[in-house]
Amino acid sequence: MEKKPVYYSTAALLTVIIFASDFLSTDLFKAGYQNFSVWFVLSVFSFACGWLMNKTLGYNHGGKVVFSVIVASTFVSVIMISLFSGYFGLSDLLVENLILYVLRNITLGSMAFFGMTLSEVIILQRENTPAKLKEDDSKRILQNAQKEANLIIEDAKLKSEKMVYQVQQNVNEMVERKNQIERRLKEFIAAERELIKKYESEEE
């Protein structure tokens, strides 16, 4: 897959989305539905970015890019929050607060990974569908060929049995004729002997 430089603009947009989440309130549900709606929109955008990156950069390379974006955004967010803790309403810079911001960045990055994974699953399913149809056709053709072969074998067996029966009949007829000829010859020889004896007796 050719990776054009313009494709990386999606990664830049994902970085902006993750970085923008740092400016939202940490108390999502206490702040009301409006803040939660903004979070939901950011999650949808992250999902769309992941979907686009899978289409343009591929699953393997795109996954590496998303991971790099998450790490870079998290690193920049930690430094920015540490330097401007007063702006973010953190009177005391606690490790728990930093972890909370890091988790929010990871959550949006995970939405991008989810978009990539779902897009890849759909692509693989589309690619496997024709192969499955071809496999089903091949199985159907093989089954038909086996049926035809079985029919041919059965027909050959019937024909061979018929030929064997006809040959056996011909042999039996020939044996019967031979026996008849032998009997007639014996009868003829016996009659000749009687005639000879009768002729000899008359001469005497």
Produce one character per residue of 136-173: b if its CB has 16 or more CB atoms within 10 Å, e if not.
eeeeeeeeeeeeeeeeeeeeeeeeeeeeeeeeeeeeee
Tokens of 104: 């929010």
Ramachandran sector of residue 58 (left: φ over 0; alpha: ψ -120 to 50; beta: rest):
left
88/20 Cα distance (integer angstroms) = 13
Cβ-based neighbours of 8, under 8 Å, separated by 6 or more: 57, 65
Provide the residue type at 82 as one letter.
S
Of 21, 26, 198, the closest CA to residue 110 belongs to 21
162 backbone dihedrals φ, ψ, rounded to 5°: -65, -40
- Note the pLDDT of residue 89: 60
What is the residue extent of each domain of the chain? 5-133
Average pLDDT, the chain: 79
CA distance to 184, 187, 202, 204, per residue, from 193 (Å)? 14, 10, 14, 17
Give the Cβ contact number of residue 107 at 10 Å: 16
115/17 Cα distance (integer angstroms) = 15
Residue 21 is given by DSSP the state G
Contact of 17 with 45, CB cutoff 8 Å: yes
177/170 Cα distance (integer angstroms) = 10
Residue with more model confidence, 103 or 4:
103
> The whole model's pTM is what?
0.54
Would you place residue 187 in the very low, low, confident or very high pLDDT band (cuts 50, 70, 90)? Answer: confident
38/45 Cα distance (integer angstroms) = 11
Compute the CA torsion angle 187, 193, 197, 202 (nearest 10 deg): 80
- pLDDT tens-digit series, residues 97-133: 777 778 888 888 888 888 888 888 888 888 777 766 7
- pLDDT tens-digit series, residues 17-43: 887 777 775 554 444 555 667 778 888
